[in-house]
Structure 1
Amino acid sequence: MVRLLVLLAGLWATSLLAAPLGRPAPDAGATTPRHDVLVIAAPQAVPEPGEIVRDCPECPELVVVPSGDFDMGGRDTPFEAPPHKVTIATPFAIARRETTFAEWDACVADGDCKYRPDDHGWGRGPQPVIDVSWEDAKVFVAWLTRKTGRAYRLPSEAEWEYAARAGTTSKYWWGKDVGKGYANCDGCADTSLHKTMPGGSFRPNGFGLYDTAGNAYEWVEDCWNDNYSKAPKDGSAWTTGQCRQRVLRGGSFANKPNLATSSARFRYDIDVRYYANGFRVARDLK
C-alpha cells in the first residue's frame, strides 16, 4: 500500500499554541492522533486509523477514526435517552475541523454552491462557515464528492458522538466539568466571546478533532426523533422520523455549557439558516 507522507512543519506546534490553559482529564479510552503527518493516500490506498488525509488543496483535513463500541446518549434530558450501545463496525474519516468559510467559498467559486453566507463581521477564511441550512450542507458534500471522486457525506449522529467522545465516557471529552478555556460557548470561559473562533483555536480531543463542543452547531445526517428508543445500533444514520427536521450536535458559541456536552442534541428545519449553525463532513474510506 503506497502512501506519500508529507511532513507538515509546525502543525503539532500550532496545535500546542492553540491549547487552553489547563489540561484535559486523562482518559484511558482516548487515542493519540498523528498531528505531525499528512497522509495523502494513493488512489487504491486505504488510510489507517489516526492518519490525516486531505483529498485536494481546497478539501478539509480528515482524520481516520477507528472502529469500536460506545455507549451513546445520556440521561440529562429525555432527548438523550435511553443510553444505548452502538457499534461502529468499520473505520471512517471525519473532518478535524468544522467546515470553514474558505472551504465553502471554494465551492462557491466552482459554481456548485450558489449561496454565499454572511460572516457577520467575524471574518471568513479559517472561521467555521455559519448561516447554512442542512440542505446547504448537502450541496457542499455533493461538491466534494464530485471534485474528489470520494464518497463525502454528513456524519451520522452516532458517528458524530463517537468521534466527539474519542473514547471518553464523561460529560465533556475533557472531563465531567466544563472548566474554563476548553471550548467556545456562553459560560466556557470567564468572558464569553459571543462569536465564532477560527477552527483549531482550542485543544483537540483524543481523536484529533477540534471544536466538537461549542463554536458552531453541527448538522448531521439523521432525521429528528424525540428519543433513542428505536435508534439504530450500527452507527448508521436514522432516516425515519421527523425528517423535515434534522439533528444538530455540539452546541455553539451562543449556547450554555449544558448544550455543548458530548451527548446533547438539538434540531432545526432542513431549509432554515441560522447564524450559529454549521457542519463538519465525513467520508467513507473505500
Structure 2
Amino acid sequence: MVRIPGADYAMGTYEISVGEYRRFEQNSGYRSKGDDCYVDKDQNGSWEQVSDASWQKPYFEQSAQHPVVCISWSDAVAYGKWLSRETGNHYRLPTSEEWERAARAETTTERYWGDDVDLACAYANVADQTGKQKYSHWTIHNCRDDHVYTAPVGQFRPNAWGLYDVLGNAWEWTCSLYDGEQSACAPEKGNESRVLRGGSWYNFPDRVRSAFRYLWRPTKRNDDVGFRVARIY
C-alpha cells in the first residue's frame, strides 16, 4: 500500500498524439532532443539507432491521431511546461505512483480488465497474432488487435476511470527516478534512469501489467515510447 502525497491530480484521457506534439513544436519553436531513435529501419526485427529517425519518422506509418513516439524524457517535460504556459494550468508528467493509481482505477488484478492476458486485444494494442505475422519470434497475447505498430489513440476500451491506452500502444514516461522515490518527480538535470509504464504495441504479456516498471535514460528515444500528462490542482 502506498500514500500519494501532494495535491489532487487528473490524468490525460489519451496519450499525447502526433498532432498534439506537432502543434507544440510549431507554436513553441522547441525541437526534439535526445539520442538517435531506436527503430526497425529495415522492417526485419532488428532495432537500431538511426540518425534520421524521429517522432516525425519512426519508420512506420502514423497519422495525427496516433500516439507520438521517439520522444525523450526531456521532450515530454518540455511539452508539459508549454501546455502549462498556454493554459494557465499546471501540467507535468505523472509520478510512477500517480500513473499506477490511475491505470488500475481501483482494480487489484494484474491488468485493469482482469488477469486473463488473452482478453488484452479488446483493451490494448499489444504484441498479438497480428504482430506475430510480421515478427514470428514474438511471444504474444493470444488474440488479434489488427495493429502491428501503434494504433490511433482511443481505439480500445478504456479502464473504469475512462482512460484509454494506459496499457499497450506506447510506453509512457513518468517523472520518477527508477532508483528513487516513486511518488516524487526527478530533477530535470541528470542522466539517471526514469520510470516507463504501461508497455507498448511491441510487448509480451509480462510487461503489459499495471505493476510493471521499466527504466530508460532520459535522453533515450524509441519507436514505442511516448507519454501522457497529468494536471495538478
TM-score of the superposition, structure 1-length normalised? 0.63
Distance 1:88 1:201, change over 3 A: farther
Two-structure CA RMSD over aligned residues (Å): 2.1
Deviation at 1:124, TM superposition (A): 2.6
Amino acid at match of 1:98: E
Q: Secondary structure at the match of 2:59?
A: coil
In 2, Cα distance between the equivalents of 1:89 and 1:175? 29
Deviating beyond 4 angstroms after TM superposition, the runs of 4 or more aligned structure 1 residues are none
Are the aligned partners of 1:158 and 1:237 in contact in 2 as well (CA < 8 Å)? no
The reply to whether residue 197 of structure 1 matches residue 151 of structure 2 is yes
1:129–1:173 distance in 2 versus 1, CA, 3 Å? same
Alignment of 1:190-269 (within 5 A): 190-191=143-144, 193-225=147-179, 231=181, 235-237=183-185, 244-269=192-217
**2: CA distance between counterparts of 1:243 and 1:263?**
24
- Offset of residue 112 of structure 1: 3.5
Q: Counterparts of 1:89 and 1:166 in 2: how far apart (Å)?
A: 19
8 Å Cα contact 2:124-2:156 kept in structure 1: yes
Mean Cα deviation higher: 86-95 or 137-146: 86-95
2:9 partner amino acid:
F
CA separation of 1:151/1:283 partners in 2, compared to 1, >3 Å: closer, same or farther?
Answer: same
Q: Distance in 2 between matches of 1:104 and 1:204?
A: 22
Hey, what's the Cα distance between the residues in 2 that align with 1:134 and 1:87?
22
Amino acid at match of 1:92: Y
TM-score normalised by length of structure 2 = 0.77
Name the SS of the counterpart of 2:25 in structure 1: helix
Q: Structure 2 vs 1, CA of residues 93 and 238 (structure 1 numbering), >3 Å: closer, same or farther?
A: same
Aligned residue among 172, 177, 195 for 2:116: 177
Are 1:188 and 2:145 matched, yes or no? Answer: no
Comparing 190-199 with 252-261, greater Cα deviation is found at 190-199
For the Cα contact (< 8 Å) 1:130–1:274, is it kept in 2?
yes
Query: Is the contact between residue 7 and residue 232 of structure 2 (CA under 8 Å) also seen in structure 1?
Result: no
Uncovered stretches (5+) of structure 2, i.e. residues with no partner: 33-53, 128-139
Which whole-Å deviations, capped at 9, do the CAs of 1:165-188 have from their partners, x for residues lacking one?
000010001111212322111123
**Distance in 2, Cα, partners of 1:170 & 1:260:** 12
Q: How many residues align?
A: 195
2:175–2:185 CA contact under 8 A, matched in 1: yes
- The structure with the larger Rg is 1
1:98 matches 2:22: no
The residue type equivalent to 1:254 in the other structure is: Y
Q: SS at the partner of 2:19? A: helix
Aligned residue for 2:95? 156
| Conserved? CA contact 1:112–1:143, under 8 Å | no
Separation of aligned partners in 2, 1:149 and 1:125: 25
SS in 2 for 1:244: coil
Q: Which has the higher contact order (CA 8 A, sep 6+)?
A: 2
Question: What SS does the aligned partner of 1:152 have?
Answer: strand
- How far did residue 194 of structure 1 move? 2.6
Note if 1:111 corresponds to 2:28.
Answer: yes
Which blocks of at least 5 consecutive residues in structure 1 are unaligned?
A: 1-70, 72-84
1:120: Cα distance to partner? 2.9
2:118–2:143 Cα contact (<8 Å) kept:
no
Q: Which whole-Å CA distance do the structure 2 matches of 1:243 and 1:162 have between them?
A: 26
User: Percent identity at matched positions?
Assistant: 35
* Structure with the largest fraction of helix: 2
Measure, in 2, the Cα distance between the counterparts of 1:190 and 1:159: 30
SS at match of 2:117: coil
Q: Secondary structure at the match of 2:164?
A: coil
Task: Looking at secondary structure, tell me which structure has more strand per residue.
Answer: 1
- Name the aligned partner's letter for residue 124 of structure 2: A
Preserved contact between residue 175 and residue 184 of structure 2 (Cα < 8 Å): no
Name the SS of the counterpart of 1:222 in structure 2. Answer: strand
Residues in 2 aligned to 1:87 and 1:270: alpha-carbon distance in whole angstroms: 23
